[in-house]
């Protein structure tokens, strides 16, 4: 298989590097760019912890070959806030206590941001459905959904 030289745009910065031909985007982000905010949970597309945005679309980085991401824009949890200002989704997750251990939180944020942008008037039920691919072992989900409802309200205003 061997190494291949590519250029990857992550959080608006372009990075040239060598990658294994069969490696996943998750591996590249965590082990080559040290962007460890993206979490490795199940590593089989089940938990949603590794969600990132690929050209604005949420994808599971553990299922995405890095070579599929060349010439596309990757946004990770490290690139979702504007400097010191948290994104409303992040802000309300903190405010509403929508996290405990925090392992699933990057995945929740990266799923919720495009979902709420696409569905600004989403009902509580729709938010639950949109987040149904993100597993959380701590919160019992209620506070996450509360936070996303509040974030949606702020994003609408």
Which residues contact other proteins (rule: CB under 8 A)?
1-2, 4, 21-22, 24, 43-46, 48, 51, 57-60, 63-65, 67-68, 111, 115, 129-130, 132-133
For residues 80 and 97, which CB has a smaller minimum distance to other proteins in the complex? Answer: 80
Compute the least distance from the CB of residue 145 to other proteins, in Å. 15
For residues 109 and 157, which CB has a smaller minimum distance to other proteins in the complex? Answer: 109
d(CA 85, CA 91): 9
Compute the least distance from the CB of residue 113 to other proteins, in Å. 12
Compute the least distance from the CB of residue 69 to other proteins, in Å. 11
For residues 129 and 154, which CB has a smaller minimum distance to other proteins in the complex? Answer: 129
Per the CB < 8 A criterion, the answer to whether 95 and 147 are in contact is yes
d(CA 30, CA 109): 18
Question: For residue 59, what are the contacts with CB-CB under 8 A and spacing of at least 6?
Answer: 25, 51, 52, 53
Q: What is the CA radius of gyration of the chain?
A: 16
């Amino acid at each position: 298989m061997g190494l291949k030289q590519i250029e990857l745009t992550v959080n608006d910065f372009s990075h040239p590097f060598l990658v294994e031909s069969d490696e996943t985007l998750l591996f590249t982000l965590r082990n080559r760019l040290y962007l460890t905010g993206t979490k490795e949970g199940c590593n089989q597309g089940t938990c949603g912890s590794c969600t990132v945005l690929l050209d604005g679309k949420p994808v599971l980085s553990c299922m995405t070959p890095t070579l599929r991401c060349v010439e596309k824009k990757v946004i990770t949890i490290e690139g979702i806030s504007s400097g010191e200002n948290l994104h409303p989704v992040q802000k309300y997750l903190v405010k509403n206590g929508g996290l405990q251990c925090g392992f699933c939180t990057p995945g929740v944020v990266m799923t919720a941001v495009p979902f709420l942008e696409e569905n600004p008037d989403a009902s509580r039920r729709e938010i639950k459905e949109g987040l149904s691919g993100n597993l959380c072992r701590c919160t019992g989900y209620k506070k996450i959904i509360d936070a996303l409802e509040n974030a949606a309200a702020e994003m609408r205003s």
